[in-house]
Amino acid sequence: MPVITNIEDLRVLHQKRTPKMFYDYADSGSWTESTYRANESDFQKIKLRQRVAVNMVNRTTKTTMIGEEVTMPVALAPTGLTGMQCADGEILAAKAAEKFGVPFCLSTMSICSIEDVAEHTTKPFWFQLYVMKDRAFIERLIERARVAKCSALVLTLDLQILGQRHKDLKNGLSAPPKLTIPNILNMMTKPRWCLGMAMTQRRTFRNIVGHATGVGNMSSLSSWTAEQFDPGLNWGDVEWIKKRWGGKLIIKGILDEGDARLAADSGADALIVSNHGGRQLDGAISSIQALPGIVNAVGKDIEVWMDGGIRSGQDVLKAWALGARGTLIGRPFLYGLGAMGEAGVTKCLEIIHKELDITMAFTGHRDIQDVTKDILYPGTF
């Protein structure tokens, strides 16, 4: 087992142990991938102010996200096909998050179902909702999340149509993978992954198959999903969903200050500054660049979080300093999951927490609640 010291180490191990189509699905963006790259590189431009001779004893990174106590302002983002990075991936990630004390959010396009995750966890998790044309199916999904005692609904607004991701098309992405000669040869080099998949029955989109009308197998699922993402989605639909859910609502996919105001006016509890990890509009602004303007636009009317490009605890602290009261990580925990299963997700969280804690100390703070943008060098953000 190699010595794991940072998220990049997990990424390298993930790439070695996971079939190419699923690694590429996690680690790619749309079109030229310029926004995907900018999400990371724009964090690196922001510089920190080191302070010395400051009492660093009894540090804490604890805070709250929508009223829920968290070990640090980090949640595991909703990611599709997580159970293809590692067998039963959503269950393993949820268990790791619960033990560490951070929220886990399950995607509509997960391999493990809402019920699967609820059965294997004791703490309420969040459920992310895509809006489909089949509103009866959406109502049933919301009810299933309520029965599973999900503590928040995360409504994603930036996937009305699907951005083109070249690698997915070239790899022929599917769950489970089609048994073509190239896929079989590639999977033969991933014995750990194959053994895990052989020992589970969870290999398709279990939130959808058997639940959506007319979707009983993989062939019908493919045509259903191609037709179901709703390009007509609008703020009236947000109100419709809010009424049917009745609980805490988080809106994901905000990059524009005007949209941020609409999100705040909708009565949602939090919004997530996000460009879908650079997987939708290539050429869009990075999440960290968009963050300060959105924080200024909505003031204290709604909790502002962000995702996209976070690869370290330093990135979490920079986002906090610029006004984000929560962050979400997708790729980092997928790297850990594909590398080492549940232990890898735990390792990812440990790495980020340690980096956050130590960086906070070096900038002269013991409590994350006291951190402001004064820790950042002017002109670098």
Which residues are identified as catalytic? 276
Side-by-side strand order, sheet with 126-129: 74-76, 327-329, 303-307, 270-273, 249-254, 152-156, 126-129, 105-106
Burial of 228 (0-12, 13-18, 19+ CB in 10 A): middle
Residue 292 preceded by cis peptide, ω within 30: no
Q: Tell me the C-alpha distance between 71 and 272, whole Å.
A: 19
> Which residues are paired to 132 by β-bridges?
229
Q: Are strands 68-70 and 63-65 parallel, antiparallel or unpaired?
A: antiparallel
Instruction: Give the CA dihedral 326, 114, 268, 297, nearest 10 degrees.
Output: 40
The answer to whether the beta carbons of residues 239 and 265 sit under 8 Å apart is no
Q: Where are the alpha helices (DSSP H) in the chain?
A: 7-17, 20-26, 34-45, 82-85, 89-100, 114-120, 135-147, 166-171, 181-187, 191-198, 218-228, 235-245, 257-265, 287-298, 313-321, 331-362
> Which residues are paired to 305 by β-bridges?
272
How many Å from the N-terminal Cα to the C-terminal Cα in the chain? 38
Alpha carbon 345 to its chain centroid, in Å, reads 13
Look up residue 4 and give its two tokens. Answer: 């794991």
